[in-house]
Amino acid sequence: MDSTGTLWLPPANSTIAGEVDPLFHFILYASIVMFVIVVAGMVYFSWRYRRRGADQLNHATTHNTPLEIAWTVIPTILVMIVFVWGFKTFIKMHVAPKDALEVKVTAQKWFWTFDYASGANSVNELVVPYGKPVKLLMSSRDVIHSFFVPNFRIKQDVLPNRYTIVWFEATQPGTYDIFCTEFCGKGHSEMLGKVKVVSDREYAAWIESSSNLGSGLTPEEFGAQLYKTKACITCHTIDGTKLVGPSFKGKFGTTEKFTDGSSALFDENYIRESILQPKAKLVVGYDPVMPTYQGVLKDQQIDALVAYIKSLK
């Protein structure tokens, strides 16, 4: 498999890429040939039949049957080739092999959550073994997002209220970008992730270690890790800078003012409530865009985040 990429395409790192790329190139080069023919024809005819005298239009040709058949039949054949070829690949991309490893993908503003059969979960990082088909069962908690891994040549919309499916088989270890390619609001361009493709053994070790996350760490250290891995960092800084959400710096113990005129102490319960029911209290000056982490974070992880935020003086 081509792993260096070309002028047009990034390296191909999945089994389906070998089917997508030839189709892409066929469309690209057919379009270039058509473009040249059409533009050259346009330029030639506008010169050849430029206005030269008053009686110019008297000998105008009305039609040419062979020519008309040609410009109808040739494009029709091209369109049929692209349709049949594209449809076959499309079906292949969406019907996962029976033995595929299944991962549940949840999109929400503005991060990706991956849930594995073992009960492990991860945010913005999909870990998979190479040489094994992986089926993604995807849904959204809010608006339409789109899951795109250029190196795998897969892209699929992720919708609320229904599942969409796409699958891939990575051909070699590596780390590949995940993009959201459906404009989903303020944080759209920040909705980034990585696919980490590892060996079978590393995958098993990762599943094992992610089920006893935080072991050997203090609650503050574990919280600091979660702050990054659970994507809090996308909207909240720890240095006082305002992003989509307020910074966590020096917040603990202060009084927060809300849009309904009320206020509350920024304490442990306030942090917990904000993580699980972000719309309960809306801080003045910010849009109510924080997603709930209900079902994403376990109690022990929330405790660690509380400890971490508390430590940010």
> Residue 215 phi/psi, 5° resolution?
-70, 135
Nearer to ligand CUA, 139 or 311 (CB): 139
Query: With respect to ligand CUA, which residue has the nearer C-beta, 182 or 256?
Result: 182
Site residues, ligand CUA (CB under 6 A):
107, 110, 145, 180, 182-184, 188, 191
Q: 82: buried, middle or exposed (CB in 10 Å: 19+, 13-18, 0-12)?
A: middle
What is the closest distance, in whole angstroms, from the C-beta atom of residue 160 to ligand CUA in the complex?
Answer: 12
Residue 151 C-beta: closest distance to ligand CUA, Å: 19
Q: 184 with 143: CB under 8 angstroms? A: yes
To ligand CUA, the closest distance from the beta carbon of 287 in angstroms equals: 16
Q: Which is closer to ligand CUA, CB of 191 or CB of 232?
A: 191
Q: How far is the CB of 134 from ligand CUA (least distance, A)?
A: 21
Strand, coil or helix: 146: strand
Q: Would you say 110 or 116 has its CB closer to ligand CUA?
A: 110
User: Please, what is the minimum distance in Å from the beta carbon of residue 302 to ligand CUA?
Assistant: 24
Find, among 100, 215, 135, 9, the residue nearest to 126 by Cα: 135
Query: What is the distance between the alpha carbons of residues 217 and 236, in angstroms, rounded to a whole number?
Result: 22
Cis (ω within 30 of 0) for the bond into 47? no
Measured from the CB atom, the residue of 190 and 220 that comes closer to ligand CUA is: 190
Main-chain dihedrals φ then ψ at residue 14, nearest 5 degrees: -135, 165
CB of 237 to ligand CUA, least distance (A): 21
CA nearest neighbour of 245 among 293, 278, 280: 278
In this complex, which beta carbon is closest to ligand CUA, that of residue 231 or of residue 306?
A: 231
What type of residue is 47?
Answer: W
